[in-house]
Amino acid sequence: MSIKNGLPEQMKLAATLSAELNPSAPVIMAGDPAGRIALASELGYDAIELHWANPAQIPLAEIGSECRKNGLEISAFATGRAYVQEGLSLIHEDDENRAAAVKRLKDFVDAAAPYQATVIIGCIRGNLSTEDDGRRSLERLASSTLTVAEYAREKNVGIVFEAINRFENNYLNTAQETAAFIRENDLPNTRILLDTFHMNIEDADLSKAILDCGDLLGYIHIADSNRRFAGAGHIDLKEIFNSLKAVDYKGFISAECLPLPDSETALSGWIQGVKNAFR
Ligand code: LER
Ligand code: MN
């Protein structure tokens, strides 16, 4: 295994970026893309993960050019803000809303294609209504996600589908349930995103969850138990890294954590926490 900056070279580190910082949203940096991207590069990050509700609002030409200048990639486009801010949901009972959610994800795929970036399906899968027994919603989810995944395959863009804790999405919470959904529906170009913050709430055995996903694992979000930077809580990150090594994980590991106590401290603390866990 070749090691670069204290980590396996095959594991690349991404810093999350959005337009504005919000102490309750798990995005580590925001604002002036040029300054933020230069700082992330200086600290040892390899990539940037973008968090916007709509790709049309992203200053993508500037971000792309600053990334190139600093030798960084765009790892992924997170899409959950389209649900949180605009209510677009892949399982919505209203056909128009659901079609708009699918269209938004296709727009994200188009934005991701030139950068060979991945598109994340997380909170945009929406929440089950209280009257729903789940079956019809899961059928809608499978159909909407299949449409997006087939479109992504044509554009050669990878999709990662995230297991999210029950307080944000009220179904498909564990790694096992989420992996089963992807496998059973044979979704093309689609792998699972595991987020250690959600796993700490939902998965009884974090290591086993990673090992069971195996090569279905396509992307990792690392935040600690309190959703602060790696090392700021009580998750056993050494165990996480040992499991990632065991499945020969070769993807991005992203700092999707709260910008606390401030963005700069979280950015440098996260890198240090990840390196300590790997040692
Ligand atoms: C999205 O990656 C995620 O983890 C959500 O919890 C964002 O709030
Ligand atoms: Mn996440």
- Tens-place pLDDT, residues 126-168: 999 877 778 899 999 999 999 999 999 999 999 999 999 999 9
- Residue 202 CB less than 6 A away from ligand 1: no
**Top mutation candidate among 118, 165, 199, 221 for ligand 1, by most atoms within 8 Å of CB:** 221
Q: Are 126 and 144 in contact (CB under 8 A)?
A: no
Please name the residue whose Cα sits nearest to atom 2 of ligand 1: 122
Ligand nearest to the backbone CA of 169: 1
What pLDDT digit, counting tens, does each position of 220-248 carry?
999 999 999 999 999 999 999 999 999 99
Please name the residue whose Cα sits nearest to atom 3 of ligand 1: 122
Which positions are annotated as active-site residues? 162, 256
Q: Which pLDDT belongs to residue 130?
A: 75
Ligand nearest to the backbone CA of 123: 1
- Give the model's confidence band at 263: pLDDT under 50 very low, under 70 low, under 90 confident, else very high: very high
Q: Which pLDDT belongs to residue 41?
A: 97
Residue with tokens 């479109």: 151
- Residue 164 CB less than 6 A away from ligand 1: yes
Residue with tokens 């086993």: 208
- Residue 162 CB less than 6 A away from ligand 1: yes
With a cut of 80, say whether residue 7 has pLDDT above it. no
Q: Which pLDDT belongs to residue 232?
A: 98
Q: Which pLDDT belongs to residue 141?
A: 97
CATH code that applies to domain 10-277? 3.20.20.150
With a cut of 70, say whether residue 74 has pLDDT above it. yes
Residue 26 carries which DSSP code? Answer: -
- Residue 237 CB less than 6 A away from ligand 1: no
Q: Which pLDDT belongs to residue 279?
A: 77
- Atom index in ligand 1 nearest the CA of residue 195 equals 4
Reduce the DSSP state of residue 160 to 3 states and report it. Answer: strand
With a cut of 70, say whether residue 122 has pLDDT above it. yes
Task: In whole angstroms, give the CA distance from residue 209 to residue 141.
Answer: 23
Please name the residue whose Cα sits nearest to atom 1 of ligand 1: 122
* Exposure string over 240-264, b if 16+ CB within 10 A, otherwise e: bbebbeeeebebbbbbbbbbbeebe
**Top mutation candidate among 123, 201, 202 for ligand 1, by most atoms within 8 Å of CB:** 123
